[in-house]
Structure 1
Amino acid sequence: MKDLLDFIVKNLVTKPEAVIVDETENEGNLDLNLTVDPSDMGIIIGKNGQTIRAIRKLLTVRAIAENVRVNLQLTEPQKEPGAENQDSSEKLTA
């Protein structure tokens, strides 16, 4: 399941090296945690959430075939503490 999600997402985003998929299995439930580059969040979510919804449906079809339940969580990557200060200072000087 992780391989399917990894394949789909890496072919959609502009920075495939930043894609991280974590997989956790609990009593027949499969939790997938997807992290992408902040600039690719809009691509993954899509217009009105259509892209992420389609990805979830594909995972659900595969999960039914494997007789498991799947839950996909899209997480926003952690920003570096210094990154916010740099952005603020650039806005002030510009």
Structure 2
Amino acid sequence: MRQLIETIVKPLVDFPEDVQVNVEEEADKVTYKLSVHKSDMGKVIGKQGRVAKAIRTVVYAAGSSQQKKIFVEITE
């Protein structure tokens, strides 16, 4: 899943080397924390959050076979 998020986000940003995905796994959920360069935040979030919503939709669909809830957070 980490590779999927990186594959989606890296072409969108100006600093692909700064893209990091950290995983926090708990008993009933998995949280993917996406970190990008400060100037790339707008590109990843998009107008009215459309790009972020699209990323979350793809990740949720890919992880639907897992028994855990999946969350994607975007941080600096």
Q: Which residue of 2 aligns with 1:12?
A: 12
Work out which of the two has the higher radius of gyration on C-alpha atoms and give 1 or 2. 1
Q: TM-score, normalized by length of structure 1?
A: 0.75
Which runs of 5 or more structure 2 residues have no equivalent in the other structure? none
Relative to total residues, which structure has the larger helix share, 1 or 2?
Answer: 1
Q: Which residue of 2 aligns with 1:29?
A: 29
Query: What secondary structure is seen at the aligned counterpart in 2 of 1:39?
Result: helix
Query: What secondary structure is seen at the aligned counterpart in 1 of 2:58?
Result: helix
Q: Which residue of 1 aligns with 2:56?
A: 56
Which runs of 5 or more structure 1 residues have no equivalent in the other structure? 77-94
Query: What secondary structure is seen at the aligned counterpart in 2 of 1:31?
Result: strand
Q: Deviation above 2 Å: which 4+ runs of structure 1?
A: 65-68
Distance in 2, Cα, partners of 1:58 & 1:2:
12
- How many residues were matched structurally? 76
| Residue 65 (structure 1) shift | 2.4
| Residue 55 (structure 1) shift | 0.2
Q: CA RMSD in A?
A: 1.0
Distance in 2, Cα, partners of 1:67 & 1:53:
22
State the identity as a percent.
Answer: 36
Q: Which has the higher contact order (CA 8 A, sep 6+)?
A: 2
